[in-house]
Amino acid sequence: DAGITQSPRYKITETGRQVTLMCHQTWSHSYMFWYRQDLGHGLRLIYYSAAADITDKGEVPDGYVVSRSKTENFPLTLESATRSQTSVYFCASSDNQIPGYEQYFGPGTRLTVT
Amino acid sequence: AQSVSQHNHHVILSEAASLELGCNYSYGGTVNLFWYVQYPGQHLQLLLKYFSGDPLVKGIKGFEAEFIKSKFSFNLRKPSVQWSDTAEYFCAVNAPGTGFQKLVFGTGTRLLVSP
């Protein structure tokens, strides 16, 4: 039972580069989410998806792009990375069948933009 | 818009001390409430959740939380903490306004338990 996985786990990139963070879940959950975690801010929602080909902005979407061509994958792309995007990124999934709609989180990707 | 407040940003306790972490939310309607824990270097794990029924919810590792609707609160408690409880704790809420799908998180409370 792999659950929810993220890759890479650690990434260092330069300002201006494009970088894609991958998220894969094996539960066939309909909902998937991307958060960033920064000291003093907790977790903030970047984008979420209700199903394949359905995505919507969260609290902090600027500078990010998502896609969801398959239910199990939800990649997050930083089109032109900036230092302010240095953060830990968590992917999560959920489903209407789960009581309370709790979310299950992946292990995170620590991204450093130099 | 919904918001979640965690008033204690850092808490330091000795082993065997009792713990209470505060959480208040702003939404007035039906809500689901969660406490997640993040151990150092790890991902978020669910400690407990309230979505219906008994407002006193018991979770894993001896944690419990009480939903008090009149106070918009969902405080986390543990009668006797252990060194292994050192972690960051996040309160979160979802509500019908978000379709119950989106979680709003508090800023977290860092707990350090000294042996």
B9: which DSSP letter? S
HEC string of A37-62?
EECCCEEEEEEEEEECCEEEECCCCC
Q: Which pLDDT does position A89 carry in this prediction?
A: 97
d(Cα A88, Cα A101) in Å, to the nearest integer? 23
Q: Measure A99 CA to nearest chain B CA, in Å.
A: 7
Query: Would you call A107 and B32 a contact, using CB atoms and an 8 Å cutoff?
Result: no
Q: Does A41 touch chain B (CB under 8 A)?
A: yes
Domain boundaries in chain B?
4-114
Q: Residue-wise pLDDT tens for chain A (114 aa)?
A: 569 999 999 999 999 999 999 999 999 999 999 999 998 888 999 999 999 999 999 999 999 999 999 999 999 999 999 999 999 999 999 998 888 889 999 999 999 999
Q: How many domains does chain A have?
A: 1
Q: Domain range for residue A67?
A: 4-113
Measured between CA atoms, the residue of chain B closest to residue A91 is B43
pLDDT of residue B38: 95
CATH code, domain with A84: 2.60.40.10
Phi and psi torsions of A75, nearest 5°: -75, 145
Looking at residue A2, its pLDDT comes to: 65
> Which residues partner with A51 through β-bridges?
A54
In this predicted structure, what is the pLDDT of residue B64? 97
Give the model's pLDDT for residue A101: 86
* Residue A6: Cβ-neighbour burial (10 angstroms; 0-12, 13-18, 19+): buried
> How confident is the model over B63-113, as pLDDT tens digits?
999 999 999 999 999 999 999 999 999 999 988 767 678 899 999 999 999
Q: How far apart are CA B45 and CA B85, in angstroms?
A: 13
pLDDT tens column, B21-69: 999 999 878 899 999 999 998 889 999 999 989 999 999 999 999 999 9
Judge: A101–B100 Cβ closer than 8 Å, yes or no.
yes
Q: Which residue is listed with tokens 């939404």?
A: B27
Single-letter residue type at A71: T
Contact (CB<8Å) B102/A58? yes
At residue A92, the pLDDT reads 97
Residue A34 C-beta-side C-alpha neighbours within 13 Å: 31
Provide the terminal-to-terminal Cα distance of chain B, rounded to the nearest Å. 41
Question: Any idea which architecture B4-114 has in CATH?
Answer: Sandwich (2.60)
Q: Which residue of A has its CA nearest to B32?
A: A100
Q: Which residues of A touch B108 (CB under 8 A)?
A: 42
Q: Name the residue among B75, B45, B47, B50 with its Cα closest to residue B63.
A: B47
Q: What is the pLDDT of residue B95?
A: 80
In terms of CA atoms, which chain A residue is nearest residue B30?
Answer: A100
Substitution target from A104, A105, A109 for chain B, most B beta carbons within 10 A: A105
